[in-house]
Amino acid sequence: MSEVSRGALVRALHTKSLEGLSGQLRARTAQRLRLLRTAQDPAELLVDWWAGQVPTHLDGGSNLVVHAIAGNTSRVREVLHRPRREYMRYPSTLAQVVRDERTIQGLTRAELAARADVDRALVADIERAGRLNDITGLRKLLRTLGIEPTALPAMDLR
88 phi-psi bin (left φ>0, alpha ψ -120 to 50, beta other): beta
Residue 108's contacts (CB-CB under 8 Å, 6 or more residues apart) are none
Q: Categorize the per-residue pLDDT at 155 as very low, low, confident or very high, splitting at 50, 70 and 90.
A: confident
**The CATH number fitting domain 84-151, selected from 1.10.3210.10, 3.40.50.1820, 3.40.50.150, 1.10.260.40:** 1.10.260.40
CATH 1.10.260.40 residue ranges in the chain? 84-151
pLDDT > 90 fraction of the chain, expressed in percent and rounded? 84
Q: Give the pLDDT confidence score for residue 58 in this predicted structure.
A: 84
Q: Give the pLDDT confidence score for residue 60 in this predicted structure.
A: 83
3 state DSSP class of 101: helix
State pTM to two decimals: 0.89
Residue 145 has pLDDT above 90, yes or no: yes
Q: Give the pLDDT confidence score for residue 52 in this predicted structure.
A: 85
Residue 19 has pLDDT above 70, yes or no: yes
CA–CA separation, 14 vs 71, rounded Å? 20
Tell me the average pLDDT across 70-93.
93
Q: Give the pLDDT confidence score for residue 158 in this predicted structure.
A: 58
CB-based contacts of 61-69 (< 8 A; 24+ apart in sequence)? 61/9, 61/10, 61/11, 61/12, 61/13, 61/14, 61/15, 62/10, 62/13, 62/14, 64/13, 65/10, 67/43, 68/42, 68/43, 68/44
pLDDT tens digits, residue range 22-49?
999 999 999 999 999 999 999 999 999 9
In order of 18, 39, 42, 124, the CA distances from 79 in angstroms are 17, 13, 11, 30
Q: Give the pLDDT confidence score for residue 131 in this predicted structure.
A: 84
Q: Give the pLDDT confidence score for residue 157 in this predicted structure.
A: 63
